[in-house]
Amino acid sequence: MAYTVPKLTDYSEAMLQRVRDELLSALEYQAEETESEADLKNFRDTWVGRKNGVVTQINELWLKAAPKEAKKAVGQVVNELKTSIERYAEQAALLLSGITLDRALDAATRQGETPLPVPYFGYQEIVESEKPSESVDITLPGVRRPLGAEHPVIKTMHEIVGVFQKLGYSVAEGPVVETDYYNFEALNFPPNHPARDTQDTLFIAGQQAKPLRERLLLRTHTSPVQIRTMEKMQPPIRIVIPGVVHRNDPPDASHSPMFHQIEGLAVDTNITFGDLKGTLDHAMKALYGSSVKTHFRPSFFPFTEPSAELYVTCFICGGSGKRGSDPCRPCKQTGWIEVLGCGMVDPNVFEFVKDNGYDPKKVSGFAFGAGIDRLALLKYGVDDLQYFFQGDVRFLEQWA
């Protein structure tokens, strides 16, 4: 509703004081009554509206109409009122957002929702006044942020690392983008040797101009870190190397172009195949229980000689190959599961780090490399590797 400003019948000090007080109390009253968007619009129209707002009215009816000698006094009152009106208009808007917030908080608490965070008003003067501070109820529950949990693959990795740390092994790491030299050449893969094909290497593009050994690729196994570590540390060494590796394998239930391995390397004088067998047998029992049996079958890797694959009794069927009257699928009814590749470090590999104390005539060692993801699959009874990498929280939280 439009508000008509009182008339100035004279320009005495008492008169100016009276109209000023009258306007101010009307202003204060209406600002306090502003409780909805409609009230706020009405308030603005009344006081600062261009057409017939109070500010316009006092300019026209008081200031412009005043005789010359009264202009200064009237001007002062008009200016003072203008400032007050502007401040009250701002304050009314802020009070309203406080009230709206109060209602939203009330409604949210009634419905058991977590309320939205309370905005910061920025105006000291207003924040300290009563209404907005009432709107922040510090007894409401805070925003709960769910804690993450270890991914089953990382959990398995930590367990294996833990078993070897107890045996006195340290942990080493190396780059995922590797050179041909570390991934192949120093591991005794001759150039153009067919063994390179078995690794389905993903090469970094545009490397043809470089000499072969400097070309970059995504490491296909964690074995290059054997060389990197031997370059830095003299024997004796005992290390495990967990990490991500890549191969050009299309994703399916048992393959992924990205997966995880853990490498082991022990080098000293007089390390024998017996040490390799004893260490891995102990590790498997620590991981899968003391009733697990281990079994080594001959194999081939360019960087170990002799080489072997390690099998353990199937932890699903306990070695029988059967689950009740059904065939056991994870071990393909054999009762054995292949867990890793291993062997005695080939003397040709030591030749590449000979100058750092690895004289093949004086030292010997064993190495192994296990695929962590497959071990996690078996351990957690998951039948599709892809679940591990799809990031679906409903799947992952089963192990949280």
Q: Give the interface with ligand PHE as residue ranges (CB under 6 A).
A: 221, 223, 263, 301, 304, 341-343, 367-369
By C-beta, is 20 or 221 nearer to ligand PHE? 221
- In the complex, least distance from residue 304 CB atom to ligand PHE, rounded to whole angstroms: 5
C-alpha 396/C-alpha 27 separation (Å) is 61
By C-beta, is 259 or 315 nearer to ligand PHE? 259
By C-beta, is 153 or 342 nearer to ligand PHE? 342
Angle among Cα 307, 310, 314 to the nearest 5 degrees reads 165
By C-beta, is 176 or 393 nearer to ligand PHE? 176
Kindly report the backbone phi and psi dihedral angles of residue 47, in degrees, each rounded to the nearest multiple of 5, phi listed first.
Answer: -100, -45
Q: C-alpha distances in angstroms, 16 versus 69, 275, 383, 399?
A: 14, 105, 88, 78
Q: Residue 348's CB: how many other CB atoms inside 10 A?
A: 15
- From the list 223, 233, 239, the residue with the least C-alpha distance to 356 is 233
- In the complex, least distance from residue 223 CB atom to ligand PHE, rounded to whole angstroms: 4
- In the complex, least distance from residue 389 CB atom to ligand PHE, rounded to whole angstroms: 19
Q: Residue 313: CB partners within 8 Å, gap ≥ 6?
A: 291, 292, 293, 295, 319, 335, 336, 337
By C-beta, is 62 or 259 nearer to ligand PHE? 259
By C-beta, is 55 or 227 nearer to ligand PHE? 227
- In the complex, least distance from residue 253 CB atom to ligand PHE, rounded to whole angstroms: 20
- In the complex, least distance from residue 257 CB atom to ligand PHE, rounded to whole angstroms: 14
Whether the ω angle into residue 236 lies within 30 degrees of 0, i.e. cis, is yes
- What would you report as the CA-atom Rg of the chain, rounded to the nearest whole angstrom? 40
Please state the separation of Cα 48 from the chain's center in Å.
Answer: 51
Q: Residue 100: CB partners within 8 Å, gap ≥ 6?
A: none
Which residue in the shown chain puts its C-beta closest to ligand PHE? 369
- Tokens describing residue 394: 């409903």
- In the complex, least distance from residue 245 CB atom to ligand PHE, rounded to whole angstroms: 7
